[in-house]
Amino acid sequence: MDFSEDVEHCLRVLSTGGIIVYPTDTVWGIGCDATSAQSVEKIFNLKRRPPKKSFIILLADRQDILKYVSHPEPQIFEFLETVKKPTTVIYEGAINLAENLVGEDGSIAIRLVKDAFCRHLIKRLRRPLVSTSANISGEPAPGFFGEIALEIIRGVDYTVHYRRDDLHPGEPSSVVRLQKDGTIEIIRQ
């Protein structure tokens, strides 16, 4: 199966409230339409994750952040230009997202992806994509496809074929938050 067919399968599943396992710019992830509370709930249940621990969402382009964050601070974009490793930013003022995805403090974690598959899928879906590691909560994140537990594979509606044979282990993104004084707090290196 080629890249385009995988994207088409994903779009069909995501547009009907389903969940997928897919490769990201970091580790293999479980994803869904980030605007669908029912889909987000399916992922919480599959991962056996406490609802208070929210997920990351992926976006393809910087300007898309304006659709999902009420007042993003411009200096965060300057910081993102300087980082080499995939970096997730926690933004205040999440909007237009599934309510069970937003942190109790109104924040949302967003990563702008450079990965071609993810970017293409997000652009075609025209909505943000949930991204959480493809593991049961508390277990190690899979570095490559072969490390994903069968329970996860069986628990989703579609598993992407693209990059299954990639044996370069992925690692989680860095996570940062812009403080009120303009400094960057590093939450995960």
* Tens digits of residue pLDDT in 15-28: 999 999 999 999 99
Token output for 99: 């309510």
Distance CA 187, CA 117 (A): 27
For each of the domains in the chain, give its residue range(s) and CATH number, in order of start. 3-188 (3.90.870.10)
Fill in the DSSP letter of residue 62: G
Q: What is the pLDDT of residue 143?
A: 84
Q: What is the pLDDT of residues 149-166, one digit of tens each?
A: 999 999 999 999 999 998
Q: What is the pLDDT of residues 86-126, one digit of tens each?
A: 999 999 999 999 999 999 999 999 999 999 999 999 999 99
Whether residue 60 contacts residue 113, with contact meaning beta carbons closer than 8 Å, is answered with yes
Q: What share of the chain is helix, strand, coil (3-state, %, to 5)?
A: 30, 20, 45
Q: How far apart are the first and last CA of the chain?
A: 35
Q: What is the pLDDT of residue 72?
A: 87
Q: Which residues pair with 29 in a beta bridge?
A: 22, 133
In a 10 Å sphere around its CB, with 0-12 CB exposed, 13-18 middle and 19+ buried, how is residue 68 labelled?
Answer: buried
Q: pTM of whole model > 0.85?
A: yes
Q: What is the pLDDT of residue 71?
A: 87
